[in-house]
Amino acid sequence: MDDFEDIIKEFLVESYENLDKLDDDLLALEDTPSDRERIASIFRTVHTIKGTSGFLALPKLERVTHVGESLLAPLRDGQLKLNRPIADALLEMVDAIRGILRRVEQDGEEGDGDYDLLVQRLEAALDEPTAGEMVDEVPPVDLDSPAKTSIPADITIATGKPTQSIADSSIRIDVALLDRLMNLVGELVLARNQIIQFSGVSNDAPMIAASQRLNLITSELQEGVMKTRMQPIRQAWNSLPRMVRDLAVGCGKKVEFRTEGEDTEIDKTVLEAIKGPLTHIVRNAIDHGIELPQARVADGKSCHGTLLMRAYHEGGQVIVEISDDGAGIDPGHIAQKAIESEIVTRQQVDAMTERDIINLILMPGFSTADSVTNVSGRGVGMDVVKTNVEAIGGSLEIQSVIGVGTTLRIKIPLTLAIIPALLVKSGGERYAIPQISLLELVRIDVDRVEKVVQFIHDAPVFRLREMLLPLVFLDEQLGLHERRQFHDDLGNLNIVVLRAEDKQFGLVVNEITDTQEIVVKPISLQLKRIPIYAGATIMGDGNVSLILDVIGLAEQSGVLVEHHCYRGADNQIDSTTPNSPPESLLIVDSANRRAAIRLSTVARLEKFSISDVELAQGRHVVQYRGRIIPLIGLDGALDARINGSDSIHADRTARLHTVVYHEGPHVVGVVVDRIVDIIQRPKIDDGNPGETQVIHNRVTEFIDLRSRVEAALSGDRTAKAGTREFTAH
Amino acid sequence: MIGRPKPVHASLQHIDIMKAMMESPEEKSQQSFCTFQVDGFWYGIEVDRVQEVIRTRPTTRVPLAPNGVRGLMNLRGKIVCALDLRDMLGLTALHARSESKDAVVQPECEFASRQMNVVIRSGVDLISLIVDEIGDVVRVTNDGYEPVPGSAGSNSASLLHGAFKLQERLLLILDADRVAAA
């Protein structure tokens, strides 16, 4: 019901505003009865209220507004002239609407006010267009109307509820004003940073205290203003269900559209910026992704395709996933089309990984459609999506399995104006790197450099755990240092590991200084053409620093385009599964062993207090988000912990680290001893047997949550099936 | 609210001046120019394009920037791109050839004290022009206006509107937008 209440709330706020305007308009009309535009505006308002009231099942309101509308239509068209009785009747209607709305707001119902007389009067005014000049029509209207329509108002007073009307407790604000506020807060943050820097070197206690207070207030103000700009992402995909339906019907497909996390909040500017891309992706998914019902049935799938749109927060970013269970993207087909459209050559394709080929759909001019339809096929599309997403500092990832479906993942920053950044030094100047692209920092001492940094011809690479990380020297990219060669002495290396699109590279800087919240300011025309700068900002000491554009940097250094250079190395590392996309693994400790769980099967990580665990049907359960979910442990670890805590009463408040698994109707908590890490590694193909691997120098066992959970739920708690079946679904 | 019509008026006037200069230089009207000196030449920019004149402040170098971009400055919270007019106008070459100025080895130090920044508006951007010396605001009539002769170097000439013949010297009028876009 929450959604419905929200709709009513919005309707009320909007209608109150419109009614106030209506009063003004009607009064003004009495002076200038022939002002068509005003009548048209009144008509629209009444029409809107009528339409919404029908939708919200408010029959009385609908009836009143309906007759009002019938009266307004000839007025608007000039068939009827506005006169006193008509104006009175209309004003009375406005009062009646207001009365009904107030009742709706208080009780959720229209109340028992009787509006028959008003309806009659409105109809009468319509039937007797000339009656306007007759004076005796007027008195009953004037006398009766307040008595009738003030009934709801009286009730308001009588009940004496001090509750604030919705219209009083919320206001509408111009987005431009919010933008200005945000800019001012940005300036304040800069000034704050400066003052903190100054007070840091002074011994003046009151000064330090004052600057600390300023710091706190600024942070809170910043948070508050940011919050005003936050909107649920629902607003970006409100129009999608309808579009999905129309498109599906148009293509002769059956599509079920589901959304998750539509309350995820995101900055207004970002919201506006992703509307277009989302629409486009959904179009593509329906047009290209989901198959016709017959084809689906033939493949053993349900005839309904599913399109799932999911939004959630992760690490200071918003992630929006659009996944379909359609045909998936066929790299062969893509490659063929890309060669036909002369985007790439056959030789280039031969050197590409499957993933690179799929990414070709993001190239300008790419289209797989054989003919142009009104849905897609014009060859502008995914590249625009990519550009738009990147323009707001986001990134786009495609994962696709033939016959299983495609998932598009958009990562976007929460807000654009103030971002956390890492400050580095290179060639004597400071640069800021947006933390959104930052993965980790690595420092290599001079005596280890030779061991871990190697060269592939002239390209330095670093062995970071099990992968080869191409190294990019910032000073070289800035043209401040000549290109380093194989035998050059590299000295100590400070490596900032960055992610650009789906590739990682290490940016070597002279010094890593600090992290700071920075305000992104645009740079002037001359500098916009340089791809490696995203903007500039003002530092605490008042100096200007440039903000590096990580994707631009990656492009310029060739990390993105010359990917096939490193392909040989890739193959060497995971020779069993070439060309597979990386996956994230959750590393946990349980009963003295290390285990890895696919992050994609994990819904959430939670901590429950042991005292919250209850017993039901011989099983440990816990209340979680309004439902009861069973808890299972890996290898009986849970029983030991809970029983153990029974004997030692002091530990009842200890926390259970729980991995929440959510699949269809099943929500299950898997209790582990400790959450260790989340790592990325190349995906293991289907059919690969369950395995153990050395991760972080520990033997780690792979666990398939789904089979574990199924086994546990079917009563077989000791089942080890999960360890043997590490399969992608 | 009272102040609001003013800039409108100013910009209209500005358009008028532009028109006068572009189309009918003979038409008599007075214009004001902020003047400054670079490498012995005197230049002018319409007064209403100039926001302020400031001393040189700490500048952040921008690697890879086109020739002439000295760096970025913080002007009361706004980021201003500083352009070295000497480079922009191609005067560096002249300067290097001239024997009398042997301070070319350390130009930064030598000029740092006298050098000034003329901050001009170009669209939403603020641009700072680094000049050797700042002059007066002069009022001129269109009588003395001449277009730039073709013999002037094409590169630098494209940044100039034309020249006013003052009594003692020529005042070269810079096209603020073209300088900003160069």
pLDDT in tens, A577-626: 334 456 777 888 877 778 888 777 777 777 787 777 888 777 788 887 77
Q: Which residue has the higher pLDDT, A64 or A155?
A: A64
Q: Which residue has the higher pLDDT, A713 or A442?
A: A442
Q: Cβ of B73 and A544 within 8 Å?
A: yes
Q: Which residue has the higher pLDDT, A356 or A160?
A: A356
- Compute and round to an integer the Cα radius of gyration of chain A: 32
Q: Which amino acid is at A405?
A: G
Q: Which residue has the higher pLDDT, B29 or A52?
A: A52
Least confident range from A25-34, A141-150, A622-631: namely: A141-150
Tell me, what's the pLDDT at B34?
92
Separation CA A651–CA A613 (nearest Å): 13
Task: Count residue pairs from A and B with Cβ separation < 8 A.
Answer: 67
Tell me, what's the pLDDT at A635?
66
How far, CA to CA in Å, does A478 sit from each of A214, A490, A611, B121, B147? 37, 17, 58, 28, 40
Q: Mean pLDDT across the stretch A648-658?
A: 65
Q: Cβ of A525 and B64 within 8 Å?
A: no
Q: Which of A110, A24, A31 is nearest to A65 (CA)?
A: A110
Q: Cβ of B64 and A190 within 8 Å?
A: no
Separation CA A424–CA A434 (nearest Å): 11
pLDDT for residue A103 is more than 70: yes
A536 to chain B: which residues are within 8 Å by CB? Answer: 60, 72, 79
Closest residue, chain A, to B179 (C-alpha)? A526
pLDDT for residue A21 is more than 50: yes
Tell me, what's the pLDDT at A149?
41
Please tell me the number of Cα atoms within 13 Å of A108 on its side-chain side.
6
Average pLDDT value for chain A: 76
Q: Mean pLDDT across the stretch A320-349?
A: 83
Separation CA A434–CA A313 (nearest Å): 18
B31-181, superfamily in CATH? CheA-289, Domain 4 (2.40.50.180)
Q: Which residue has the higher pLDDT, A84 or B74?
A: B74
Residue from B75, B81, B120 to probe the interface with A (highest A Cβ count within 10 Å): B81
Q: Mean pLDDT across the stretch A426-449?
A: 88
Tell me, what's the pLDDT at B6?
42
pLDDT for residue A138 is more than 70: no
Separation CA A357–CA A336 (nearest Å): 10
Q: Cβ of A526 and B79 within 8 Å?
A: no
B81 to chain A: which residues are within 8 Å by CB? Answer: 523-524, 526-527
Tell me, what's the pLDDT at A156?
41
Distance from CA of A547 to the nearest CA of B (A): 11
Q: Can you give the residue ranges of every domain in chain B?
A: 31-181
Tell me, what's the pLDDT at B148?
79
A480 to chain B: which residues are within 8 Å by CB? Answer: 63
pLDDT for residue A682 is more than 90: no
Categorize the per-residue pLDDT at A3 as very low, low, confident or very high, splitting at 50, 70 and 90.
Answer: low
Q: First vs last Cα of chain B: how many Å apart?
A: 36
Whether the Cβ atoms of residue A641 and residue A656 lie closer than 8 Å to each other? yes
Tell me, what's the pLDDT at B3?
40
Least confident range from A230-244, A308-322, B20-34: namely: B20-34
Residues with Cβ within 8 Å of A548's Cβ and at least 6 positions away in sequence, in order, are: A431, A432, A433, A434, A474, A532, A533, A534
Q: Cβ of A544 and B181 within 8 Å?
A: no
Distance from CA of A434 to the nearest CA of B (A): 18
Distance from CA of B15 to the nearest CA of A (A): 23
Categorize the per-residue pLDDT at A508 as very low, low, confident or very high, splitting at 50, 70 and 90.
Answer: very high
A553 to chain B: which residues are within 8 Å by CB? Answer: none
Beta-ladder partners of B32: B139
Beta-ladder partners of B35: B44
Distance from CA of A553 to the nearest CA of B (A): 12
Categorize the per-residue pLDDT at A641 as very low, low, confident or very high, splitting at 50, 70 and 90.
Answer: low
Tell me, what's the pLDDT at A433?
93
Supply the pTM of this predicted model. 0.51
Q: First vs last Cα of chain A: how many Å apart?
A: 34
Q: Helix A2-31 vs helix A84-107: angle between axes, to the nearest 10 degrees?
A: 160
Separation CA A635–CA A519 (nearest Å): 50
pLDDT for residue A334 is more than 90: no
Categorize the per-residue pLDDT at A303 as very low, low, confident or very high, splitting at 50, 70 and 90.
Answer: confident
Separation CA A514–CA A423 (nearest Å): 5
What is the dihedral sign for C-alpha A332, A333, A334, A338? positive
Residues with Cβ within 8 Å of A554's Cβ and at least 6 positions away in sequence, in order, are: A472, A498, A500, A501, A503, A505, A560
Q: Mean pLDDT across the stretch A707-714?
A: 73
pLDDT for residue A721 is more than 60: no
Tell me, what's the pLDDT at B105?
40
Separation CA A657–CA B160 (nearest Å): 72
Neighbour count for residue A145 (Cβ, 10 Å): 20
Q: Report percent pLDDT > 90 for chain A.
A: 5
User: Per-residue pLDDT for chain B (182 aa), expressed as one digit of tens each?
Assistant: 444 444 444 444 455 555 545 544 444 567 899 999 988 889 999 998 999 999 888 889 998 888 888 899 988 878 899 998 888 887 765 555 444 444 344 444 444 557 889 999 887 788 999 998 898 898 888 778 888 777 766 666 778 888 888 888 888 888 888 887 76
A533 to chain B: which residues are within 8 Å by CB? Answer: 62
Cα-Cα-Cα-Cα dihedral of B122, B124, B130, B135, to 10°?
Answer: 60
- For A504-555, give the secondary structure using H, E and C: EEEEEECEEEEEEEEECECCCHHHHCCCCEEEEEECCCCCEEEEECHHHHHH
Residue from A424, A519, A524 to probe the interface with B (highest B Cβ count within 10 Å): A524
pLDDT for residue A686 is more than 50: no
Tell me, what's the pLDDT at A154?
40
Highest mean pLDDT pick, A115-129, A449-463, A634-648, A695-709: A449-463
B180 to chain A: which residues are within 8 Å by CB? Answer: 524-525
Considering only CB atoms, which residues of chain B are within 8 Å of chain A? 58-66, 69, 71-74, 77-81, 83, 125-127, 180-182
Q: Convert the pLDDT of each residue in A522-543 to its tens digit.
A: 777 778 778 888 888 888 777 8
Q: Which of B88, B92, B118, B115 is nearest to B178 (CA)?
A: B88
Q: Mean pLDDT across the stretch A633-643?
A: 68
Closest residue, chain B, to A520 (C-alpha)? B79
Distance from CA of B39 to the nearest CA of A (A): 24
